[in-house]
Amino acid sequence: MRFISLLILFLSGTFTSMAQDKKQNENAIPNTVDSLYREDQFYIGLSFNLVTSQPDSFSQNGFSGGLHAGFIRDMPINKRRNVAIGVGLGIATNTYNSNLFIGETTTGESVFSILEAGANVDRNTFSTNLIEMPIQLRWRTSTPTDYSFWRIYTGVKLSYIYHYKAKFKSDSDSVTQTDIPELNRFRYAATLTLGNGSFNAFVQYDLQTLFNKDALIDTQRVNLQPIKFGIEFYIL
């Protein structure tokens, strides 16, 4: 009899607990999955800057680097939403350390020359600040609930150099040049980014030279066509 009483008490407690759990589940906020998700992202990148199409005797020295950051709006174009078009807006800064001297004559005309080897130079840099608009075709393995995924983004980047400066400094002289009409200020480049999660590798190849055909060392064109290698971080 005592056993039956204990069994009834146990079953009563079990059914009461089940009823309470069912009531809590009914009142709980349901988990929802956003089937129309987008990968809108903030991005920041660090790069090592090289140049091709350079004149004779040109060489880079020290570290030439870049930093860029911005935001990209994601617009999926298929039902699975793993293919999209991305359009963004950002800013960038680049520095090129080399033996290319940029100055001007007394009449205001630009002067380009190669510094002699062994010259006592403290600093010789050319830096640019840009507004950028990346346009990407984006493929990824993401899902509405998976935020760590593989990605391949390729496209073009349109930009405009809104500020630039050539800086030369030695023991005996200092030159700062901020008016270079031969500079191609409107820029366009091909880009490729691939990686997983927040950490990604990228390459950017400018499709035009930094300086136009009027930039000459004697009769040789200066050109300089940048190519950037680096890492890029995406933050949702």
Give the DSSP H/E element, type plus range, for residue 95. Answer: strand 83-97
pLDDT of residue 1: 52
CA distance 220 to 20: 86
Q: Is 138 exposed, middle or buried (0-12, 13-18, 19+ CB in 10 A)?
A: buried
- Beta-bridged to residue 54, according to DSSP, are none
Is the residue at 77 inside a domain?
Answer: yes
Instruction: Dig out the tokens for 177 from the structure.
Output: 């040049």
pLDDT of residue 5: 52
In terms of DSSP bridges, do strands 121-140 and 110-114 run parallel, antiparallel, or are they unpaired? unpaired
In terms of DSSP bridges, do strands 199-206 and 186-196 run parallel, antiparallel, or are they unpaired? antiparallel
Is the residue at 18 inside a domain?
Answer: no
Is the residue at 44 inside a domain?
Answer: yes
Is the residue at 7 inside a domain?
Answer: no
Is the residue at 91 inside a domain?
Answer: yes
Is the residue at 229 inside a domain?
Answer: yes
- List the CATH number of the domain containing 185: 2.40.160
Averaged over successive runs of 10 residues, the pLDDT of the chain (236 residues) comes to: 46 49 50 69 96 94 95 94 96 97 93 89 95 97 81 97 96 92 98 92 97 96 97 90
Is the residue at 60 inside a domain?
Answer: yes
Q: Quote the number of domains for the chain.
A: 1
CA distance 15 to 17: 5
pLDDT of residue 20: 52
Closest CA to 64 of 93, 43, 44: 93
CA distance 155 to 153: 7
State the residue range of the domain holding 145. Answer: 39-235
Contact 123/171 with Cβ under 8 angstroms? no
pLDDT of residue 143: 82
Is the residue at 100 inside a domain?
Answer: yes
Radius of gyration of the chain (CA): 29
